[in-house]
Chains A and B, each alone.
Chain A
């Protein structure tokens, strides 16, 4: 379903153009209907991996595919919903117009949108605020509008970059319920998070990345050794001396 095959990516930084290796031969597969949690400290390469999947950046080496299509094929994204970390939207549009854009650009008919938009906005708690300009939204409301935008076209694959970021407990519960819903609908969910509790609650499999290298990947209940918590495993896995665990 989602495959990252030996992807490496480096960036040039600063005036001297210092090379920074963001991803090193990253290899990862997420099966259909799976909820995959992508963990890692800040700057580990989580968002870079996600941006490779969305063709926002191109790998130096290797390739990424979704539904067996190379991610450089724009048609792949008809089946992909994406929520960026700290999403920003157009100031003067409202939630209705945002979803209209999302739906129409993904091939939905005006009729489909008329039915689906109010239901989805109600689901994310924005029905009453649907006509308000997005610039008047709080951070949590923007996050929820972003989630609605990611789901409006009923994608098969949902990629969420830190979906709980900036949400209050009520918002977090709502997003959590949505992820569980997606899981029950058989959608493939790829989400990155710092919040280990969320990963434990929703994910079938996890991957831990640090320094651009995948340190560990596997089913949640198999990779966490008996007597160890996910937090302890995570802290061990991001250590440079970590030798890796069977995946």
Chain B
């Protein structure tokens, strides 16, 4: 832990003071205010909409944080050669990746805790204004949803580290991370669709099925971390599902960062 901690701390400080973070927070704040206004306008399923919009705002802001602050934290080290000052210490390349990732994970947890706090405030204010629309509401599923969003973002950050370990530019890392996010959210549904095409009256070639199956096993299934519907309707989420999803997220994250460390340990910095 000794070689990791100082690097994790300065990565966290560098990230939390980044001005891009203020923009992301401002956007999230606007979404939370918009939540109140939207609910005031539609006056239908207000409870569901309030929870859905608030959690989506956290998820979206967190995604921006990973894409525009997280990726930069690593990319800038390589582009501007700040990595020299780190690797000139008794820190191996693998330690470097883990230290940076730990700092990034701390940043994500802190940011989602703050955004989550605002989301809860936003839901609470809508509930206070329109109490009759919240007959089955409970806070615990919302908190669980926030926890899974955080884990999904940490996993995505881990994947971005894997891409950054071999990509030659931060733009490539950004594109690969966005693609992983999109595939990760849709691949389970697409797999179900291509495996039973007759049910929806479509024809799917064997190659397409193979490609979708390959994507399903290669990319993490991020839709597992999305329990907004359950939170909005206060539907039960089993502990088995939660434990399985957390274990899946942690395993995939550890795998991504370990692979990133392996790839990175072969890199040179001329």
**Is B208 interfacial (CB 8 A cutoff)?**
no
**Is A89 interfacial (CB 8 A cutoff)?**
yes
**Is A173 interfacial (CB 8 A cutoff)?**
no
Q: Are A58 and B14 in contact (CB under 8 A)?
A: no
Partner pick for A105 among B80, B89, B268, B270, CB 8 A cutoff: B89
By CB atoms of chain A within 10 A, which of B14, B18, B85, B95 has the most? B85
Q: How many residues of B contact A (CB 8 A)?
A: 27
Please tell me which stretch of A77-85, A209-217, A219-227, A232-240 contacts chain B, meaning at least 4 of its Cβ atoms lie within 8 angstroms of it.
A77-85
Partner pick for A56 among B6, B80, B82, B87, CB 8 A cutoff: B87
Q: Are B6 and A74 in contact (CB under 8 A)?
A: no
> Main SS of the interface on chain A?
mixed
Q: How many residues of A contact B (CB 8 A)?
A: 36
| A48/B270 contact (C-beta < 8 A), A84-B85, A93-B14 known | yes
Contacts of A11 in B (CB 8 A): 270
Bound-complex Cα distance A57 to B267 (A): 8
Instruction: Give the distance to chain B from A21, nearest Cβ to Cβ, in Å.
Output: 13
B91 nearest CB neighbor, chain A only: A105
A146 nearest CB neighbor, chain B only: B85
Bound-complex Cα distance A93 to B85 (A): 13
Bound-complex Cα distance A106 to B91 (A): 9
Contacts of B2 in A (CB 8 A): 107
Task: Report A67-83 CB contacts with B as 1/0, cut-off 8 Å.
Answer: 00000001111101110
Q: Are B268 and A107 in contact (CB under 8 A)?
A: no
Instruction: Give the distance to chain B from A207, nearest Cβ to Cβ, in Å.
Output: 21
Partner pick for B90 among A57, A78, A89, CB 8 A cutoff: A78
B11 nearest CB neighbor, chain A only: A90
Q: Are A100 and B85 in contact (CB under 8 A)?
A: no
Contacts of B10 in A (CB 8 A): 90, 93, 97, 101
| A101/B269 contact (C-beta < 8 A), A74-B91, A89-B85 known | no
Bound-complex Cα distance A144 to B163 (A): 35
**Is A51 interfacial (CB 8 A cutoff)?**
yes
**Is A55 interfacial (CB 8 A cutoff)?**
yes
Contacts of B95 in A (CB 8 A): 74
Contacts of A150 in B (CB 8 A): 88
Contacts of B90 in A (CB 8 A): 74-78, 105-107
Contacts of A133 in B (CB 8 A): 17
Q: Are B270 and A82 in contact (CB under 8 A)?
A: no
Residues of B within 8 A of A (CB): 2-3, 5-7, 9-10, 13-14, 17-18, 80-82, 84-92, 95, 268-270
Interchain Cβ contacts under 8 Å between A and B, 22 examples: A48-B270, A55-B87, A74-B91, A76-B90, A77-B89, A77-B90, A80-B88, A84-B81, A84-B85, A84-B88, A88-B81, A88-B85, A90-B14, A92-B18, A93-B10, A93-B13, A93-B14, A102-B85, A102-B89, A106-B89, A133-B17, A146-B85
Residues of A within 8 A of B (CB): 11, 48, 51, 54-58, 74-78, 80-82, 84, 87-93, 97, 100-102, 104-107, 133, 146, 149-150
Closest 9 CB pairs of A and B: A92-B17, A82-B88, A104-B6, A105-B89, A57-B268, A105-B6, A88-B80, A56-B269, A78-B90
* Additional A-B contact list (5), CB under 8 Å, known A90-B10, A97-B10: A54-B87, A77-B89, A84-B81, A100-B6, A150-B88
